[in-house]
Amino acid sequence: MTAITVGNTVADFEADSTDDQRFRLSDYKGSYLVLYFYPRDNTPGCTKEGQDFAQHFSEFEKLNTGIFGISRDTLAAHQKFREKYNFPFHLIADPDETICTSFDVIKMKNMYGKQVRGIERSTFLLDPDSVLIHEWRKVKVKDHVEQVLEVIRQHSV
């Protein structure tokens, strides 16, 4: 996959997701799609973000929008995380960082005074033709899901 930028079509890709599902971008043609990248399962910010998307899931459905969370965690970790919090959407495992690299979300970050390589919390909105129409980088969890919903509402009028 090559770098993905706003205004361009995202090339079709496949990846493993929870419940032994195989995610294919092309399966979502005709729908909006939210891909949200988060650092790690079962951490406070990532849990809150997932819960916020879950809380508003029916609103996304009404707007013809699919949701997938993506991190470098394993499928087994994702499955436990999804079941623990009863997320109504699937989580995509990207342990080799292929998808993360394409969306340019792997960054050097400071954690407890040390530089570490990890996922910068980011969300991407694709239109029904798989064109990237909006991106949020360095996401702050508070009110983020509401911001995503508002942009979808503006585009789906």
Active-site annotation holds for 46? yes
Catalytic residue among 46, 67, 91, 92: 46
**What's the token pair of residue 101?**
């690299």
CA 37 centroid distance within chain: 4
Rounded Cα distance between 24 and 13, Å, is 6
Q: Which helix (H) or strand (E) holds 82?
A: helix 75-85
Angle between helices 75-85 and 44-55 (to 10 degrees): 60
Rounded Cα distance between 112 and 125, Å, is 31
Catalytic site positions: 46
